[in-house]
Amino acid sequence: MLAAFLAAFSILTVPITVKVISLCSKEKQLSKFDGCQDPPCERPYDYFGVVNIIAATRHLLNKTALANTVDRFHTYGETYVTRFLDQRIFLTCDPRNIKHVLVSRFIDYDSSTVRVHLFLPITEHGIFAVDGPEWKRARNVYRNVFSRTRSIIDLNVQERQFQRFLHLIPPTGEPFDLQALFLKLTLDLTTAFALGESVDSLSPSQSDEKKQMVQSLLYAKKKIARDGFLGPLRLLFGRRDFYRACSDVHRYVERRIEGVIQEKRQQGEDGGLEKHLKGFNLLQALADNTDNVLELRDGVISIMIAGIDSVASLLSATFWLLARDERVFAKLRASVLDSFGQELPNYDQLKGLTYLRHVFQEAMRVYPPVPFNARIANKDSTLLYGGGGDGNSSVLVKKGDKVIFSSWASHRSLKTFGEDSHEFRPERWERLTAEELMGYIPFNSGPRACPGQQYAMMEASYAAVRILQNFSEVRNRDPRGWTEHIALSLSNGNGVLVELVRKSEVQNVT
């Protein structure tokens, strides 16, 4: 493995040596314009980033990458620069720079160039793989859909899937991995929303076709995450199984698309009532505007990739934290029972649960679903802060430079969240203002903010409320601490090993 790495590294570095040296003096000259100054540089002697790459790989393997990220910001400041081969990479957790890149100078930075090679095999024209007009068109479609959260979320579907979820929780209260169950729940909810039928992950009678679909989708997502970390070194590994998994997902989704298109043609103009009675699903909504199978396929797969991980990550982090904080759990459960007891909650009741919202916000602060993200400059631009000895000067970002922003670090800012920023304390959200929260980006920010965030929060709220109604305690059954597992979304590498105590069991004991 090491020999292969060195061989690949030499092949990549030899042709660019002259280019790097020539760029060096040019960058220094340009940085003098507009008051720009250089930020601190990580290991300036490591011009090709070899030591940086080895160190980053070691931390990933040791599951200490996120803690190391915070340590490096403490060492170099909230904005600094490093290098990978011939590319400069700026890292920042400064909320002002994050807002500048995502909002103020959004047009200066692209995201598809960071990940198009990752998503191309599974969603060639999906929103994760495009910029410019294609991205704007996809964004507008999704915004139109998700702006109607009240009408598109079916709480009856949420309840049916929750009942399946409930039946898989051990009746005697023995320890189990709640994170694994949350993944199954969100798989079923997201595929039901996207395709009009779930993949039945929670069902004991799941068909072989749906089992294969789930296996292939999860495998494809795993490989996308792996290749993202490997960068150019991904070329050293075979991708045949990845392409096969993508093809399996494509076939499954395309069969559903063909059925929807055929049904649409048969119904003609009189199909509106029947669609209404069936309830909302994303595929049907997209098919109202196009019959292009590839466009429909990439549209629904993109939502499945985004929706499954984000909600499962939020619920898992929340209950991992609640299992270790009896006070917050008791307060949260009391707020739910005081609001509507054991009745099934409706949309307005869920929206009105202020303390639940604060608990979710705090869980996403401590364990953000996406702990870091990146953009590549499509023109010469700047970062507002980080340059010079005091860090108050702007920084030149050249076309082609990468900017990585860390929500893991910005969510732990002592300036914003206080000296107890490392602690789980939902009450802090009672005082925080919008201005203070520039660096709080659990769903991203600016034009590329997640269009489905309100839907995701409602889905998570329903599941959490129903758990709180059915169980009086959540007990931690894992002596280990939280261990990072970084994929397309952040999760605990140890799972969420808990015991859920049904309310009837507590009554019997007392």
Which among 416, 372, 383 is positioned nearest to 79, based on CA atoms? 383
pLDDT in tens, 134-189: 889 999 999 999 999 999 999 999 999 999 999 999 987 789 999 999 999 999 99
Beta strands 484-486 and 381-387, pairing class: unpaired
A 10 A CB-CB count for 191 gives: 28
DSSP state at residue 39:
P
Give the other-Cβ count within 10 Å of 47's Cβ.
Answer: 15
Q: Do the beta carbons of residue 108 and residue 424 sit within 8 Å?
A: no
pLDDT tens by residue, 438-497: 999 999 999 999 999 999 999 999 999 999 999 999 999 999 999 999 999 999 999 999
pLDDT of residue 505: 56
pLDDT digits (tens, 9 = 90+) for 176-223: 999 999 999 999 999 999 999 999 999 999 999 999 999 999 999 999
Q: Quote the CA–CA distance of 355 and 376 in Å, as a whole number.
A: 38
Q: Per the structure block, which two tokens stand in for 208?
A: 């072989």
User: CA-based Rg of the chain, rounded to a whole angstrom?
Assistant: 24
396 burial class (0-12, 13-18, 19+ CB within 10 angstroms)?
Answer: buried
Asked if residue 411 lies in contact with residue 424, where contact means CB atoms within 8 angstroms, the answer is no
Two structure tokens written together for 152: 């598109």
Query: Which 3 state secondary structure label does DSSP give 115?
Result: helix
The two counts, helices (H) then strands (E), for the chain are: 22, 12
End-to-end CA distance of the chain: 60
Helical H segments across 268-346, by residue range: 272-278, 282-287, 293-322, 326-340
Say whether pLDDT at 32 is over 70. no
Mean pLDDT value across the chain: 90
Q: How far apart are CA 320 and CA 310, in angstroms?
A: 15
- Residue 283 is predicted with a pLDDT of 95
Alpha carbon distances (Å) from 457 to 310, 312, 346, 360, 454: 10, 11, 14, 8, 5
Question: What CA–CA distance (Å, rounded) separates 469 from 462?
Answer: 11
Beta bridge partners of 484: 492
State pLDDT tens for residues 86-134.
789 999 999 999 999 999 999 999 998 888 889 999 998 889 888 888 8
- The residue extents of the domains of the chain are 1-114+369-410, 131-365+432-510
Residue 41 carries which DSSP code?
A: B
Q: How confident is the model at residue 65 (pLDDT cuts 50, 70, 90)?
A: very high
176 bridge partner residues:
498
Q: Is 450 marked as binding a ligand? A: yes
Two tokens at 79? 């904005």
pLDDT at 278: 62
The pLDDT of residue 434: 86
Take residue 172 and report the two structure tokens written for it.
């005697």
Per the model's pLDDT, the better-predicted residue between 61 and 276 turns out to be: 61
Residues 6+ apart with CB under 8 A from 425: 362
Task: Give residue 430's identity as a one-letter amino acid code.
Answer: E
**444 dihedral zone (left: phi>0; alpha: psi -120 to 50; beta):** left
Q: CATH number for the 1-114+369-410 domain, one of 3.30.420.10, 3.30.43.20, 3.10.129.10, 3.40.50.2300?
A: 3.30.43.20
The position carrying tokens 């790097």 is 20
Give per-residue pLDDT as tens, 260-289: 999 888 876 555 545 554 678 999 999 998
Strand, helix or coil at 253?
helix
Note the pLDDT of residue 508: 43
CA distance 346 to 462: 9
Burial of 449 by CB count in 10 Å (0-12 exposed, 13-18 middle, 19+ buried)? middle
Alpha carbon distance 425, 389 (integer Å): 35
Residue 30 CA to residue 37 CA, distance in Å, equals: 10
pLDDT at 509: 40
Phi, psi for 104 (deg, rounded to 5):
-60, -45
Give dist(CA 376, CA 469) in Å, integer.
Answer: 46
- Cα separation, 472 vs 335, whole angstroms: 13
Q: pLDDT grade, residue 34 (50/70/90)?
A: low
Pick the CATH number of 131-365+432-510 from 1.10.630.10, 1.10.1040.10, 3.30.230.10, 1.10.10.10: 1.10.630.10
Give yes or no for a contact between 408 and 372, defined as CB atoms under 8 angstroms apart.
Answer: yes
Predicted confidence (pLDDT) at residue 507 exceeds the cutoff of 70: no
Count of alpha carbons within 13 angstroms of residue 348, beta-carbon side: 0
In the prediction, which pLDDT does 33 show? 57
| Beta strands at 176-177 and 497-502: parallel, antiparallel or unpaired | antiparallel
Q: What is the pLDDT of residue 368?
A: 98
What CA–CA distance (Å, rounded) separates 367 from 352? 24
